[in-house]
Chain A
C-alpha cells in the first residue's frame, strides 16, 4: 500500500504540470501525429502535490546536496591548498608561520607569563611550565596563585630562602602550607594544572560532539576503497564465509553491491572536512602533528556554515536564504532577491489580472441581468403609483360631503376595493417577485465587489489566494447563472411591461372615474 502510494505520488509529482495540461480523456498526442494514450483525467490538487513534493523529494534533495557541498567544498579547498594558495589570498602573508602559530597558540597562552600560571611559586614555576609544555598542555588563574609567599613574608623571609634550606624564613606555618596546599608545591601545582588541562580537553570534546550532533552528521564522510581481490560472488557460500570471517562486524568495512551482482569488500575511513583540510595543511606546510585542534576548529566553523545553509534552505526556501544577516548587511542573494521580487510582483500582477478576469465579467453579467429586473420593477412601480393616485383621488371625493352619500358609498364600496384587489392580488405579488430577484442579484454583486476591493488593497495576493477560493467560485457560478438567465430576465421584463400596460389602463380608468365623479356612478346627483 505504501509502495503503491509512493509510485502514485511520484508519478503525480513529476508529471503534475503535464497531467494538468494533458490529463484529458482524449488522445492529445494525436494532434502531433502519434496516437498516445494520456492518463484519464482527474483534477489535480496543486498545493497537495507540492506539499508531498517538499516532504518526499525537495527536503531530501536539499539534505543530500548539502552533504555534497561539504564534500566538494573540502575537495576544492584541499586543491587550493595543494596549489599553494595560488590566487593571493588576502588573509595571510605567511601561512606556514600562521599555522605553526595556531598550533602553539593554545599552549602559549596557557604557559605565558601573563597566563593562568603567572602566579606559580617562582622557584618551580619554570619546571611546571616546562613540564606542561612538554606534554603540550595549557590552563585558570586564582587556583594557581601561590600563597606561600604571604606566609613566609609574615616571617620577613623569602620563598627562595625557605626552599633553599633556611627553615627560619617561614618556619612551621610555611612548611605546613607548602606541604598541604597543592599550588604551593611542585607536585600539587603540576597535578592541579594537569587536571585542569584534562578538564578543558574534555569540555572541548563535548563541545565538538555537540557540534557534530547539531550538524546531523554532515561533518563525517566515509571514504571507502576496494580491497584488492575482495570481490566475491555472493552465491558462493565458501567465498562469503571466508570473507565474512575476515571482515566480521568491523565498522571500518563496507560491502559494495556491484551492478554485475558481485560484492566488493572495502576498507573505509571516516573523514571530516577539518581532518582532511588539516592533514593537507600539515603535509603541505610540514607542520608537526599537533594540529588536532586545527581540525576541530575547522569542523566547528564548517558545521556552523553548513547547518545555517541547510536550515535556511529547508526552513524557508529561497526566501529564507535571502534574509539579511544579523550584522545588518544586505542579503547575500541580492541578485536573486531582485528576481524574486520581480517574480512576486509579476505573480501578484498576474494573479490580480486573473482574478479580475473572473470577477469583472461576473459583475458585468450580473449588472446586465439585474438591469432587466430594474426596468421591470420600474414599470410595475409606475403602474402601482397610478393605482394609488386613482385611489387617493377617489378617497378624497368619498370624504367630500358635497357629493351625495349614495355616490360616495358606491365609490367607497366598489372602486376602492377593486383598486385594492388589483394592487394586492396582481401588482404587489409581481413587484415582490421582481424585487426579490433584483435584491438577490444586487447581493451577489455586492459580495463580489467587496472581495474585489479586498484583493485590490491586499499586499500579498498569493498567500491569501486560498481565502478567496470561495469567492472566485461564487463569481464563476454567478456569472454562469446570470448569462444563462438573461433570456429569462428579458422575458420577465416583457411580461412585466405587458402587465404594467394593462395595469396602467385599469388605473387610468379609475382616475377617469374619479375625475368624472359622481357623474359616472349609478346614483349620480349632488347633495345640497
Chain B
C-alpha cells in the first residue's frame, strides 16, 4: 500500500512542478509583453514599475514611431449614439481625438510637440479613412451609340444643352453653406436640396442619353464631374451635424468644376473640328459661347 502511495505521489509531484514551471514562464512572458504593450493604462504605468526616464523614452518612442503600427482606436464601436444612428465622420474624429489626447496624457507627452503632431496626424488619418467618397462612373455606364455621323453629333449636342438648361442648379452649395455658417442658421442648408435634386436628375438624364462613340470620354468626364458636384452638395448639406464630411467634400470642389469645364471645352473643340455647326435657334448654339482651352 505504502509502495502504491509512493508510486502515486511521484506523478502528482511531477504534474505540480510542471504546472509551476509553466505558470512561472507564462508570468515572465506576460511581464515582458507588458513592457511593449501599446495600450497604456494608468495603473500599469506607475513610477514604481518603470523609472521615469525609461518610461518617457518608451512613450516618446510609441508616439514618435510606434503609432504607425499601433492598433487604431476604433471609436466607432458600440456607443449609446451608435445604438440609434451611425457615427458621423465628425463623431469619429472627435472620439479619435479624445483617445489620442488621453494617450498623450497617459504618456505624459502633452508637452512633446513631435508626439502631439504625430497624434494629430494619426487622428486625422484614422478618421478620414472612413470618409465617404464620390461615386465615379466608368465607360461601361455610358450608353454608346455606334452612329457617329454629323447628325448624331448634332443631336447629342442639342440634347446635352437642353438637359443642362432643364436641370442645372442656379445656386451653389458652397455659397449656401457659407451663408448658413455665417448666420449660424442651419435651416438655410435646406436650400441645398434643390441643388442635390438638380444634380441627381442631370446624372439620370445623362445616363439615359445615347452618346456617339467619339464623344463617350467627354460624356463620362461630364458625368463624373456632376457626380463629384453632387457629392459636394450632399456633403455640405450635412454641414451642421457632420462638418468634417462637409470639409472633405469641399476639398473636391475645384477638381469637380475643372472636370466639367474641361469636358465641355473638349466637346466644343470636337464639334468645331468636325464641322458640327448649330444654328442660332438651336440649344447647341450655346457651344459657340464656350471658350476653348486656348482662350
Q: Using a Cβ–Cβ cut-off of 8 Å, how many residues does chain A contribute to the interface with B?
A: 114
Considering the complex, which residues of chain B in the window 120-162 have a beta carbon less than 8 Å from any beta carbon of chain A? Answer: 120-129, 131, 133-134, 136, 158, 160-162
A326 touches which one: B105, B118, B178 (CB < 8 A)?
B118
B110 touches which one: A57, A91, A300 (CB < 8 A)?
A300
User: A74's closest neighbor in chain B, by CB?
Assistant: B94
Q: Which residues of A contact B269 (CB under 8 A)?
A: 354, 357-358, 476
Shortest Cβ distance from A359 into chain B, in angstroms? 10
B254 touches which one: A31, A45, A317 (CB < 8 A)?
A317
Q: Using a Cβ–Cβ cut-off of 8 Å, how many residues does chain B contribute to the interface with A?
A: 127
Known contacts: A65-B246, A79-B81. The answer to whether A301 contacts B290 by CB under 8 A is: no
A482 in the interface (beta carbon within 8 A): no
A10 in the interface (beta carbon within 8 A): yes
B292 in the interface (beta carbon within 8 A): yes
B104 touches which one: A38, A97, A301 (CB < 8 A)?
A301
A301 to B254 Cα, complex, angstroms: 30
A332 touches B127 (CB 8 A): yes
Considering the complex, which residues of chain B in the window 94-133 have a beta carbon less than 8 Å from any beta carbon of chain A? Answer: 94-95, 97-106, 108, 110, 116-129, 131, 133
B49 in the interface (beta carbon within 8 A): no
A73 touches B129 (CB 8 A): no
Q: Which residues of B contact A46 (CB under 8 A)?
A: 257-258, 261, 291
A57 touches which one: B82, B106, B178, B270 (CB < 8 A)?
B178
A89 touches B101 (CB 8 A): no
Q: Which residues of B contact A17 (CB under 8 A)?
A: 164, 168, 257, 260-261, 264
B181 in the interface (beta carbon within 8 A): yes
A91 touches B103 (CB 8 A): yes
A277 in the interface (beta carbon within 8 A): yes
B244 touches A87 (CB 8 A): no
Considering the complex, which residues of chain A in the window 34-48 have a beta carbon less than 8 Å from any beta carbon of chain B? Answer: 38, 41-46
User: A106's closest neighbor in chain B, by CB?
Assistant: B108
Q: Which residues of B contact A382 (CB under 8 A)?
A: none
Shortest Cβ distance from A67 into chain B, in angstroms? 8
Q: Which residues of B contact A424 (CB under 8 A)?
A: none
* A212-220, A345-353, A405-413 - the one binding chain B: A345-353
A50 touches B257 (CB 8 A): yes
Q: Which residues of A contact B224 (CB under 8 A)?
A: 343, 346
Q: Which residues of A contact B285 (CB under 8 A)?
A: 24, 26
User: B89's closest neighbor in chain A, by CB?
Assistant: A69
Considering the complex, which residues of chain B in the window 154-176 have a beta carbon less than 8 Å from any beta carbon of chain A? Answer: 158, 160-162, 164-166, 168, 170-172, 174-175
Most central of A21, A46, A304, A318 by chain B CB within 10 Å: A21
A80 to B96 Cα, complex, angstroms: 12
Q: Which residues of B contact A297 (CB under 8 A)?
A: 101, 105, 110
B239 in the interface (beta carbon within 8 A): yes
User: A480's closest neighbor in chain B, by CB?
Assistant: B272
Shortest Cβ distance from A97 into chain B, in angstroms? 5
A333 to B76 Cα, complex, angstroms: 18
A68 touches B243 (CB 8 A): yes
B270 touches A357 (CB 8 A): yes
A195 in the interface (beta carbon within 8 A): no
B264 touches A20 (CB 8 A): yes
Q: Which residues of B contact A83 (CB under 8 A)?
A: 79-81
Q: Which residues of A contact B266 (CB under 8 A)?
A: 350-351, 353-354, 357
Shortest Cβ distance from A365 into chain B, in angstroms? 9
A325 in the interface (beta carbon within 8 A): yes
A465 in the interface (beta carbon within 8 A): yes
Q: Which residues of B contact A97 (CB under 8 A)?
A: 42-43
Shortest Cβ distance from B48 into chain A, in angstroms? 12
B206 in the interface (beta carbon within 8 A): no
A343 touches B259 (CB 8 A): yes
B117 touches which one: A18, A304, A468 (CB < 8 A)?
A304
A58 in the interface (beta carbon within 8 A): yes
Q: Which residues of A contact B9 (CB under 8 A)?
A: none
Q: Which residues of B contact A154 (CB under 8 A)?
A: none
Q: Which residues of A contact B136 (CB under 8 A)?
A: 339, 342-343
A14 touches B170 (CB 8 A): yes
Shortest Cβ distance from B212 into chain A, in angstroms? 13
User: B68's closest neighbor in chain A, by CB?
Assistant: A329
Shortest Cβ distance from A310 into chain B, in angstroms? 8
A92 touches B128 (CB 8 A): no
Most central of B100, B125, B171, B288 by chain A CB within 10 Å: B125
User: B242's closest neighbor in chain A, by CB?
Assistant: A72
3 closest A-B pairs by beta carbon, nearest first, are A332-B125, A318-B251, A325-B121
Q: What are some 25 contacts across the A-B interface (CB < 8 A)?
A: A21-B161, A21-B286, A23-B289, A61-B236, A64-B181, A68-B240, A76-B88, A79-B80, A90-B71, A91-B40, A91-B103, A98-B105, A112-B47, A309-B247, A329-B122, A331-B125, A333-B128, A333-B129, A336-B252, A339-B136, A343-B136, A347-B258, A357-B273, A472-B294, A476-B273
**Contacts from A to B (Cβ < 8 Å):** 10, 13-18, 20-26, 28-32, 38, 41-46, 50, 53-54, 57-58, 60-62, 64-69, 72-74, 76-77, 79-80, 83, 86-94, 97-98, 101-102, 105, 112, 114, 277, 297-298, 300-302, 304-305, 308-309, 313, 317-318, 321, 325-336, 339-340, 342-343, 346-347, 349-351, 353-355, 357-358, 361, 462, 465, 468-470, 472-473, 476, 479
